[in-house]
Amino acid sequence: MMIRRTAAGLALWAAFSLQGFAAEQPPARPLKVRPERTAIFDLAATDGTLIAVCERGVILTSKDEGRSWTVIQTPTTRSLTSVVFVSAKTAIAAGHGGTLMRSDDAGSTWHLIELPEINHDSILGLLARKDGAVIAYGAFGMYLESADAGVTWRKLTVIKEGFDRHISQVIEFGEKLFLVGESGTMAISADSGSTWNEIKSPYQASFFGALALADNSLLAYGMRGHVFRSTDGGMKWEQVPLATTSALNGGFADDHGGVVLVGNAGLLAVSRDYGKSFVLSKAPEGLPLSRARFLKDGSILYVGYMSNGVRAAGDR
């Protein structure tokens, strides 16, 4: 597989500390950041702009699909775990210590949003829904919703009163929401998150992510290389064979049956048949990977812990 290097980096979801701390103030002097040596936790894209969120509150932006990056200083030094675009200009980023930030200029500048109701617990993910609402979720069953593009938020109960499992991902699936998390947690909401029905899980250990695919199937993935696929809306699941025991930390799907999953030890798993089968390869660095996405030219942009972001030539 041919490789083209660019400047970026990343770190692993499973390595996050879930202990809550308040968002820190920016340092007196700007941090000196080398993008190629920065731990990145998530990627988002819109209108030709890529945003990567990193350790120490650093954000990177790219206008050339990851070939070069600009360092953005933000008003926190907490690690940022997730980023989404609500519109072409409005982006939301979140992370450790209950950190939540909003940008109205496609990520060039950011301001903090206070969330006293979550007691500084770590936010592990964000979802920008098709109806305009935004979801933030994370440690100990945390689930927040914003109806005004991230300006104000309200805390909601998930699954049942007292639910305290870490939520690793919430995705949209048709008109429903699908949730996965710690201890094999799976749940579906048919009313935009007001109520949830728990699903009998095919796996009792933690899921780290889920994907809704273009053929109306669902994928859930997580510890020890486990991948499960459902074709009936999550009621029944079949395990997808994957010749690895590495944890799977992130995934991305396109509209044409392409799926890429990434994990520990540089694992790259690529499917061209809507997740029915995967071809495995290993990033040359051999370090944990957390996020990847297909680019317009068919290559894959992935990021790795204390490593360069890499564009791997695709076979599409």
Q: What is the pTM of this model?
A: 0.86
Instruction: Give the CATH number for residue 266.
Output: 2.130.10.10
Nearest to 119 by CA among 102, 143, 97, 134: 97
Is it the case that residue 7 has pLDDT exceeding 90?
Answer: no
Tell me the DSSP string of 278-295.
-EEEE-TT---EEEEEE-
Tell me the DSSP string of 123-187.
EEEEEE-TTS-EEEEEGGG-EEEESSTTSS-EE---SSTT--PPEEEEEEETTEEEEEEGGG-EE
DSSP strand pairing (289-294 vs 279-282): unpaired
Residue 203 is which amino acid? Y
The phi and psi torsions of 117 (rounded to 5 degrees) equal -75, -10
Dist. CA 34–CA 70, nearest whole Å:
10
Domain that holds residue 257: 3-26+35-312
Is it the case that residue 35 has pLDDT exceeding 90?
Answer: no
Is it the case that residue 201 has pLDDT exceeding 70?
Answer: yes
| Residue 124 · residue 13 · CB < 8 Å | yes
pLDDT, residue 84, reads 97
Banded pLDDT at 305 (limits 50, 70, 90): confident
Average pLDDT over residues 205-226: 97
Is it the case that residue 2 has pLDDT exceeding 50?
Answer: no
Quote the percentage of the chain above a pLDDT of 90: 68
Q: Residue 71: in which H helix or E strand, if any?
A: strand 70-72
151-194 pLDDT, tens digit per residue, is 999 999 999 999 999 999 999 999 999 999 999 999 999 999 99
pLDDT, residue 10, reads 33
DSSP strand pairing (238-239 vs 186-189): unpaired
Number of domains in the chain: 1
Question: Higher model confidence: residue 50 or residue 304?
Answer: 50
| Residue 248 · residue 208 · CB < 8 Å | yes
Eight-class DSSP state of 75: S
Dist. CA 110–CA 108, nearest whole Å:
7
Residues 6 or more apart whose Cβ sits within 8 Å of residue 28: none
Average pLDDT over residues 195-215: 96
Average pLDDT over residues 47-67: 89
> Structure tokens of 69?
């990056």
pLDDT, residue 179, reads 98
Is it the case that residue 283 has pLDDT exceeding 60?
Answer: yes
Dist. CA 249–CA 82, nearest whole Å:
13
- Other CB atoms within 10 A of residue 174 CB: 10
